[in-house]
Amino acid sequence: MSSQDNLIETATQIGVENFRKTRGSVPEGFEVLRQHAPAAFAGYCMMRSDLMQEGALDLKTKELIFALLDVVIGATEGAKVHAANAIRLGLTVEQLSEGLVQCIMARGITTWNMVGRATLQHAVEVAKETQGTR
């Protein structure tokens, strides 16, 4: 096994563990990347595992930022996943709502219609579930 193969394997292990810690599992789309482009997956994992831990910003804030960025770029599923993660980490629906208003200001009401509303509705459901387990 080459040193590059060892690096890819190590980075993949670190990334998979980070996904499990922050999401519970590796998302299906990333499993496809892992299977067909292992070096790209490993590189992404190194960046993600470095970022998705407590640092200057807490994980709740990082998840909120990812949710809002996904709303702005029209990535509904990503926005919903990150918003739900942020809610589970203690973000309030009111805080998410305020951030979503910023998305409307930056990208217009179409952003709300296409992604924002679904993201908020999903977050409200997750908040209800989360409150029942606290």
> CA separation (Å) from 2 to 8, 60, 99?
10, 38, 46
What is the distance between the alpha carbons of residues 15 and 39, in angstroms, rounded to a whole number?
12
List the domain boundaries for the chain.
Answer: 3-51, 59-133
pLDDT digits (tens, 9 = 90+) for 23-61: 889 999 999 999 999 999 999 999 999 999 899 999 999
What is the distance between the alpha carbons of residues 11 and 51, in angstroms, rounded to a whole number?
14
What is the distance between the alpha carbons of residues 101 and 103, in angstroms, rounded to a whole number?
5
Structural fold of domain 59-133 = AhpD-like (1.20.1290)
Q: At 1, is the pLDDT very low, low, confident or very high (cuts 50, 70, 90)?
A: confident
